[in-house]
Every structure is written in C-alpha cells, then in structure tokens.
Amino acid sequence: MADRKYWLFKSEPNAYSYADLQKDGVAEWDGVRNYQARNLLRDDIKEGDGILFYHSNAAPMAVVGTAIVVRSGYPDSTAWDPKSAHPDSKSSPDEPRWYMVDIKADQEFKEPVTLEAIKVLPGLEKMMVGQRGARLSVQPVSSEEWNIVTKLGLG
DNA sequence: GCCAACGTTGGC
DNA sequence: GCCAACGTTGGC
C-alpha cells in the first residue's frame, strides 16, 4: 500500500497491554480525549496503517509489537456512555467530539525496543516518544523510523 | 513518590 | 481573551 502510514500508540500495560490486544483480537481504541490525537484518529489514521504498540509507565518502557488498523476513524461512542471510563457530556451521537479506530495485534517483537534504545539509536533521535515531555498518546512515525524499529524488534 | 510539561477550565 | 489554578501524563 503506497500511502500506508505509521503510528505509535501508547498504552499502560496495567490498563491494556499488548497481551490483552492479542487475546482480544480486534480492539476499539477508545477513550482518547485529546484534540491533537483526536484529529489524527478522525482524519489521518486509516485502515491498513501500521502501529507500533508502546508500553508506557512500564518496566521496561518499550515498543513491544506491531498492530494494524482494521477500521478507520469513527465516533467514539463511549463518550456518551455515562458508564464508560471516559464519559464526556459534550459529545453526542449527532455531534461526536471524540473518535476511535479499531486495531488488531500483528507481530509481537522478539526483542522489545526500549525507550532507552530509541533515544540513542541513529535515525530514531527525532521520534516523538523519545522527546522530553511528549505526552501525545497517538503519534506519527516516519516510514524510516518504522523500518528501523520493526527490524530491531523482529530480529 | 516526585515533578516537569502541558492541556483544560474558570474567574475576571 | 488573559492567565492562574488545576488535573493528567508519564519519565525519572
């Protein structure tokens, strides 16, 4: 796919790990409540795109595998579900404020690519996840970065 | 557990 | 519309 794009999704393994994703098969990536990330989910993240699945607040913090987008952005219905983990009364089915995508696990890394490694590896210095204070939970990744990280992880 | 970064909220 | 207070993220 010529216009395939690449992303990095952060998740705290305490809350939702790569193993959980493998177990679940397809997962709805809901609960994102940040406008910058929302715009990416709504406008830019398309079926077939590649995802680096990153464990934050973990030991070690690392990209642990890849996932594939199986459904492009659509309204996050958990926003108007008062029983959900992230309700937002300002979002409604008529005027959805938040978006999500569906993803499924692809290739688990043999060797997790740690944050420590990302910070020092040639070609990865610019990766957003390695920048100080980069809190965005959905980040763009260049095809060069994708190639380097997946090659390292898959061995 | 601490705290820097930074997005959001609310008083004015 | 400014900006201080507050809350959250997430590395350390």
- Check whether the bond before A13 is cis (ω within 30° of 0): no
A20 lies in some domain: yes
Q: Detail the DSSP E strand segments found in chain A.
A: 6-11, 26-29, 50-55, 62-75, 99-114, 138-141
A111 lies in some domain: yes
pTM of structure: 0.93
Q: Which residue is nearest to nucleotide C11 (CA to C1')?
A: A57
> What does the pLDDT read at residue A84?
84
A61 lies in some domain: yes
> What does the pLDDT read at residue A31?
92
- Work out the pLDDT band at A123, boundaries 50, 70, 90: very high
**Residue A136: nearest nucleotide (C-alpha to C1'):** C9
Looking at every residue in chain A, the average pLDDT score rounds to: 92
Number of domains in chain A: 1
CATH number for the domain harbouring residue A57: 3.10.590.10
A1 lies in some domain: no
pLDDT tops 80 at residue A2: no
Hey, what amino acid is at A49? D
Question: What are the structure tokens assigned to A50, written together?
Answer: 């590649």
What is the distance in angstroms measured between the alpha-carbon CA of A79 and the sugar C1' of B7?
19
A143 lies in some domain: yes
Which DSSP letter does residue A58 get? S
Contact A31, A78 (CB under 8 A): yes
Percent of chain A with pLDDT over 70: 99
Domain of residue A129 covers 6-154
Percent of chain A with pLDDT over 90: 77
A50 lies in some domain: yes
Q: What number is the average pLDDT over the span A32-45?
A: 93
**Residue A88: nearest nucleotide (C-alpha to C1'):** B8
Report the range of poorest mean pLDDT among A9-13, A40-44, A87-91: A87-91
pLDDT tops 90 at residue A29: yes
